[in-house]
Chains A and B, each alone.
Chain A
């Protein structure tokens, strides 16, 4: 892009839309430092007291740890299952492959409210007295995340020639040895990226969690429950600012990882 193009209508439109996308987020961050009980213009002065209050709120810290634990555990399961599926669909042809792909694409396109209530019905049918908990939420998060993990791993493997694995086996490695020493290392950046993207999704997820959560809270559930109290809004905004900054860092990290060590032609195309 030449300097002349920076004032082209196309770029101006892009800049305008980017501003539209970032402005609401930026406003939340700015107002998290605002020394006022209501979120209105004009700004009142700089304070960090909402952050201090946040750290002193017990339920919030509990919800944060719940979200982190839930995110880690559900993402490990989703990444493991998604990686197996990703390797399977990109390296083998087998009967039922089309049916599996259709099934695995479904969670991507079915409204979360339907996934949430259907799982609730499953749990209540298995055992009407079942206590809903973070575990039941985790099951839902794994279902949502398997398709993404599979796609991320499969698209990484599609960029590498399957002959690499065949060569390893010709040289005497067993299939599982090849998987461990050739396929998985090739897929490693995608696996990490799949884990991070699952974690981000799980950490943010609300629509499914809402139906499957018991007495504990995740951060989004806590946040939602506090929205009823206007006096809690500045606190919530400070919390939002922290989550926003943390997720931006996580996303940039995960995007960078997906680019690591790709074959040259692919990098150029991306």
Chain B
């Protein structure tokens, strides 16, 4: 027993210490910062709830938070809806090729996210590929570019980035479905589409939920994509956090806004764990 405890300690202490000191402690310090009056001396040591009041008074911040939630929601819904048929095809129709086809789908997801967003910046830019193509094809007139630097451009780019990640949990949920259930449905006189809506779809809901959160959680905190393709109308909540830390140097207010974001994500995870039979391990993709 003593031996086993020593082994566990030797294995677990280094990673646990790293995570506690360099992941958990920073979150606690962030919480402490949120009660400060200012970033630099001498306001540092003052304890105040002024930053929270500032946040509550700033309706523009609330609007951006809602906008971020909305963008993340739309992106996540589009991702799972677009990914579902891919996952279905791979799980039920692709037979022995499914692993190869799945890998083909996943490879782009491993390419630098910044570069994939850059690709969309190049495609959507004012003299970009899409618009220069549409102009030379005579489909739109010069000077009226579409999808440029807007919220829609952010949505398109984010859907592009996240589709493979949404497809994975849906695919593994579909794979877990016992095929005999579908045979039974057919034997009992169920038409294929009926079997889909009454057997396959309900059984794949955990995968859909996982896919949704898989996309929603990172998307709601986005700031890089809006910076690159969003323009003014595409600004998201993460952009304000970034701005408060880098340009405005208002760290206490930035800490409050980060904590709001953190709370939002933690609430979602609580909901997710409730909705999902396998809990966090679904989200971790394990």
A27-B122, A41-B133, A247-B110 given as contacts; is B224 within 8 A of A207 (CB)?
Answer: yes
Complex partner residue of B12 from A2, A88, A251, A270, CB under 8 angstroms: A88
Complex partner residue of A252 from B4, B5, B15, B107, CB under 8 angstroms: B107
Among listed A44-52, A54-62, A149-157, A186-194, interface-contacting one = A149-157
Mark contacts of A246-261 with chain B using CB atoms, 8 A cut-off: 1 yes-contact digit, 0 otherwise.
0110011001000000
Q: Smallest CB–CB gap between B129 and chain A, Å?
A: 6
CB contact list, A110-136 vs B, under 8 A: 110-115, 117-122, 125
Judge whether B22 is part of the interface by a CB distance below 8 angstroms. yes
In the bound assembly, the distance between CA atoms of A266 and B46 in angstroms comes to 58
Contacting pair A111 B15 (CB below 8 A): no
Contacting pair A105 B7 (CB below 8 A): no
CB contact list, B97-121 vs A, under 8 A: 97, 99, 101, 103-105, 107-108, 110-116, 118-121
Contacting pair A211 B27 (CB below 8 A): no
Contacting pair A101 B22 (CB below 8 A): no
Among listed B49-57, B87-95, B183-191, interface-contacting one = B87-95
A31-B122, A40-B132, A143-B19 given as contacts; is B115 within 8 A of A243 (CB)?
Answer: yes
Mark contacts of B256-286 with chain A using CB atoms, 8 A cut-off: 1 yes-contact digit, 0 otherwise.
0010011001000100000000001001111
Contacting pair B118 A146 (CB below 8 A): no
A21-B105, A81-B15, A121-B29 given as contacts; is B114 within 8 A of A220 (CB)?
Answer: yes
CB contact list, B45-103 vs A, under 8 A: 82, 85-86, 88-90, 93-97, 99, 101, 103
In the bound assembly, the distance between CA atoms of A111 and B89 in angstroms comes to 31
- By secondary structure, the B interface counts as helix
Judge whether A84 is part of the interface by a CB distance below 8 angstroms. yes
Q: Smallest CB–CB gap between A50 and chain B, Å?
A: 13
CB contact list, B217-247 vs A, under 8 A: 217-218, 220-224, 228, 238, 241-242, 245-246
In the bound assembly, the distance between CA atoms of A248 and B116 in angstroms comes to 13
The count of residues in chain B whose C-beta lies closer than 8 Å to any C-beta of chain A is 90
Q: Smallest CB–CB gap between B231 and chain A, Å?
A: 14
Contacting pair A27 B160 (CB below 8 A): no
Complex partner residue of A110 from B29, B255, B262, CB under 8 angstroms: B262
In the bound assembly, the distance between CA atoms of A248 and B11 in angstroms comes to 33
In the bound assembly, the distance between CA atoms of A227 and B115 in angstroms comes to 11
CB contact list, A141-186 vs B, under 8 A: 142-143, 146-147, 150-151, 154-155, 175
Q: How large is the interface on A (under 10, 10 to 19, 20 to 34, 35 or more residues)?
A: 35 or more
A27-B122, A41-B133 given as contacts; is B11 within 8 A of A87 (CB)?
Answer: yes
Judge whether B192 is part of the interface by a CB distance below 8 angstroms. no
Judge whether B8 is part of the interface by a CB distance below 8 angstroms. yes
A210 partner residues in chain B, CB cutoff 8 A: 242, 246
In the bound assembly, the distance between CA atoms of A268 and B10 in angstroms comes to 35
Question: Which B residue sits closest to A154, measured CB to CB?
Answer: B286
Judge whether A7 is part of the interface by a CB distance below 8 angstroms. no
A113-B241, A244-B112 given as contacts; is B129 within 8 A of A27 (CB)?
Answer: yes
A-B contacts at CB below 8 angstroms, number: 251
A24-B116, A114-B221 given as contacts; is B127 within 8 A of A40 (CB)?
Answer: yes
Mark contacts of B198-233 with chain A using CB atoms, 8 A cut-off: 1 yes-contact digit, 0 otherwise.
000000000000000000011011111000100000
Complex partner residue of A17 from B18, B27, B133, B163, CB under 8 angstroms: B163
A113-B242, A118-B30 given as contacts; is B122 within 8 A of A18 (CB)?
Answer: no
A5-B93, A111-B265, A155-B286 given as contacts; is B29 within 8 A of A92 (CB)?
Answer: no
Contacting pair B93 A109 (CB below 8 A): no
Complex partner residue of B8 from A10, A38, A39, A92, CB under 8 angstroms: A92
Contacting pair B245 A120 (CB below 8 A): yes
In the bound assembly, the distance between CA atoms of A28 and B122 in angstroms comes to 8
Complex partner residue of A114 from B15, B261, B285, CB under 8 angstroms: B261
Judge whether B123 is part of the interface by a CB distance below 8 angstroms. yes
In the bound assembly, the distance between CA atoms of A179 and B51 in angstroms comes to 51
Contacting pair A22 B108 (CB below 8 A): yes
In the bound assembly, the distance between CA atoms of A223 and B27 in angstroms comes to 29
The 5 closest A-B pairs by CB, nearest first: A111-B221, A10-B89, A118-B26, A24-B119, A204-B112
Task: Enumerate 9 A-B pairs (CB-CB under 8 Å) in ascending A order.
Answer: A5-B93, A13-B85, A28-B119, A38-B127, A85-B16, A94-B5, A108-B284, A114-B258, A204-B114
Kindly list 18 other residue pairs between chains A and B, CB separation below 8 angstroms, not including A113-B241, A240-B112, A247-B112. Answer: A14-B89, A17-B163, A20-B163, A21-B163, A40-B128, A108-B283, A110-B265, A111-B217, A111-B261, A113-B242, A117-B254, A119-B26, A121-B29, A121-B251, A139-B22, A142-B18, A204-B112, A237-B118
